[in-house]
Amino acid sequence: MKVELENLFSIDESSQDQVIKVYNRYGIFIGAPEIRKRNLKASFNPIFTLNDDVTYEHVAALYKSLEHELGIVSIGERFYFDFSDSEYEQAPLFTLNSTGNSPDMFIDDKGTLFSISTHCQHCGLMEKEQLSPLVIDTTEMKDRHLVHVSGYWVASQELATLMKQEDIKGFELLEVIHQGPKEGKRKAFQILPTQVLPESSTERVKLYFATEQPPCRCGLSGIINGPDIYHREDLTDLKNDIFLSAEWSHDGRYLYRKTLFSRKFRELIIKNNISREVRGEKDKNFGPKDWLFDPVLLN
């Protein structure tokens, strides 16, 4: 697994050579930027790999130099985790990060009952406990097989049937309540995993954005978690196909437990042409209906 960082900012065309020199000084070699013709602004978005030679502390120092020497303050950052082919081939479990490179994979909650409590006084993250079936407008699912509703996965009737036929195990289905127009309404089911995985390995990569507030003391807000990583022996005797992680994830407001899926489940989705095989966000196969599964790492 490789961690890559993308930067994004605009500068005057005349200062592009100086910007490239600052990156080079920190051991990062980037090409000439794209120039937007209309206003002679050069738009830089170098992507480079973080490793022992180029660490994130290094990059934070680079940002200080860009600011002090060239007055560049607003730098967009984005992390990518790039897996090797053998990591895809060996992983027993996968994290499902997306069911399409499109905002349509998200459906709004239309009134599910939750009980809500504060988890962290400092950053205000909240815990929520679901007290009723999910309430959504199922017409918004259109012909999608799996959509994301505030931390939960909701499957179409067709996908639910396929999972049963193929003997996918480790979950219960809870039918959602439809709220919206009658025409085009569909049967849909929340997937409720019945098992929680053992704790993950402490070797997990944790990153933060140097350009934003420092992480909260609760260890959740402001931290970008790298890929899920488990002790190999903890996963050898796993049965079933769908699990919740023991650790909390959050969406900026509420905590939730991430759902992980078996290799068998991923293969089923690809074999039945529900999604093409996608390896990473930058894969050209990652279209509006393709599913992005990241392999779980073992140590």
Distance CA 220, CA 218 (A): 6
Backbone angles phi, psi at 235, to 5 degrees: -110, -5
- Rule CB under 5 A: say whether 47 interacts with Zn ion: no
**DSSP of 97-124:** EES-SSGGGB----S--EEEEES-TTT-
Q: Which is nearer to Zn ion, 221 or 245 (CB)?
A: 221
- Rule CB under 5 A: say whether 126 interacts with Zn ion: no
Task: Out of 3, 123, 173, 238, name the contact with Zn ion by CB under 5 A.
Answer: 123
Query: Which amino acid makes up residue 121?
Result: Q
- Rule CB under 5 A: say whether 284 interacts with Zn ion: no
Residues 294 and 95: beta-carbon distance below 8 Å: yes
> How far is CA 39 from each of CA 11, 13, 76, 147, 215, rounded to the nearest angstrom?
11, 9, 20, 41, 37
Task: Out of 14, 103, 118, 122, name the contact with Zn ion by CB under 5 A.
Answer: 122
Q: Which is nearer to Zn ion, 175 or 247 (CB)?
A: 247
User: Nearest approach, Cβ of 219 to Zn ion (angstroms)?
Assistant: 8
Distance CA 267, CA 107 (A): 25
Distance CA 75, CA 151 (A): 29
Beta pairing partners, 147: 154
Task: Out of 3, 30, 177, 216, name the contact with Zn ion by CB under 5 A.
Answer: 216
Q: Which is nearer to Zn ion, 216 or 229 (CB)?
A: 216
Question: 231 Cβ partners below 8 Å, 6+ apart?
Answer: 198, 201, 298, 299
Q: Which is nearer to Zn ion, 214 or 288 (CB)?
A: 214
- Rule CB under 5 A: say whether 205 interacts with Zn ion: no
User: Nearest approach, Cβ of 256 to Zn ion (angstroms)?
Assistant: 15
- Rule CB under 5 A: say whether 223 interacts with Zn ion: no
- Rule CB under 5 A: say whether 221 interacts with Zn ion: yes
User: Nearest approach, Cβ of 248 to Zn ion (angstroms)?
Assistant: 11
Task: Out of 8, 218, 229, 238, name the contact with Zn ion by CB under 5 A.
Answer: 218
User: Nearest approach, Cβ of 126 to Zn ion (angstroms)?
Assistant: 11
* Residues at the interface with Zn ion (CB under 5 A): 120, 122-123, 216, 218, 221
